[in-house]
Structure 1
Amino acid sequence: MNNQKGLSVKSVVAIGIGAAIYGPVVGFSVGFIGHALSDFLMYGQTWWSWVLATAVLGLIIGLYGMRLDLENGVFTTKQMIGFNIVQIIANVVSWLIIAPVGDILIYSEPQNKVFLQGATATITNSISILILGTILLKAYAATKVKKGSLRRD
Structure 2
Amino acid sequence: MRSSKGFSVRTIVAIGIGAALFIVLARFGSIPTGIANTNLQTNYAILALFALLYGPWAGLLIGLIGHTLADLISYGAPWFSWVIASGIAGLLYGLFNRGARIEEGQFGIKEIIRFNIGQIIANAVSWFVAAPVLDILIYAEPGDKVFTQGLVAGGLNILVVAVLGTLLAAAYAKTRTKRGSLTREA
TM-score w.r.t. length of structure 1: 0.94
Higher helix share: 1
Q: Does 1:144 align with 2:179?
A: no
Counterparts of 1:12 and 1:129, CA distance in 2: 6
Superposed, 1:1-153 pairs within 5 Å as: 3-4=36-37, 6=38, 9-153=41-185
Cα root mean square deviation, aligned:
1.3
Q: Distance in 1 between matches of 2:111 and 2:137?
A: 37
How many residue pairs get aligned? The number is: 151
| Structure 1 residues 22 and 7: CA distance shift in structure 2, 3 A | farther
In structure 1, C-alpha distance between the alignment counterparts of 2:166 and 2:124, rounded to whole Å:
18
Matched residue SS, 1:151: coil
Identity %: 45
Task: Provide the TM-score with structure 2 as the length reference.
Answer: 0.78
Q: For residues 26 and 95 of structure 1, what CA distance do their matches in structure 2 show?
A: 20
Q: Deviations over 1:95-118 (max 9, x none)?
A: 011100000001000000000000
Question: What CA deviation, in whole Å up to 9, does each residue of 1:66-115 have, x standing for no partner?
Answer: 22101100012011011101100000000011100000001000000000
